[in-house]
Structure 1
Amino acid sequence: MPGIKVHPNDSFDEAYRKFKKQVDRNLIVTETRARRFFEPMTEIRKKQKISARKKMLKRLYMLRRYESRL
């Protein structure tokens, strides 16, 4: 669970912004949305396959971009 330290001179808006940043970093909201409904294993595997492909294409893009600078 995310926790923040609030200093006496911090405003509510600053503390709220820090808290939201912690929640975003820990992926709490996205995880709760994903667990909201039951997903069969076929759907989970499908999503993993899509994310692996995206990651591979991103790495390939970055590699080609880096090689073009040389």
Structure 2
Amino acid sequence: MPGIVVHQGEDFESAYRKFKRQVDRNLIVVELRKRRFYEPPSERRKKEKIATRKKILRKLWMLRRYESRL
């Protein structure tokens, strides 16, 4: 969990920026959005399968694109 130490004479805006930076680095907001609704394991596997397929197709497309230039 992110936490910051506010030093003497430090204004609120700089402390808030530090806190926000830590939250962004730890991907807390992304994790909260992902866990907002329950996702059954079958749906998770389905999404992973689709993402893997997209990744493979993207690599294949790039390979064909650069292969045609040779």
TM bucket normalised to smaller = 0.5 to 0.7
What are structure 1's unaligned runs of at least 5 residues? 62-70
Residue 19 of structure 2 corresponds to 19
2:28 maps to 1:28: yes
Q: How many residues align?
A: 57
Residue 65 of structure 1 corresponds to none
Residue 8 of structure 1 corresponds to 8
The percent identity for this pair of structures is 62
Q: Distance in 2 between matches of 1:10 and 1:32?
A: 29
What are structure 2's unaligned runs of at least 5 residues? 63-70
**Aligned amino acid, residue 23 of structure 2:** V
Greater shift in the superposed pair: 35-44 or 16-25: 35-44
Q: Which runs of 4+ in 1 moved over 4 A?
A: none
Residue 40 of structure 1 corresponds to 40
TM-score (norm 1): 0.62
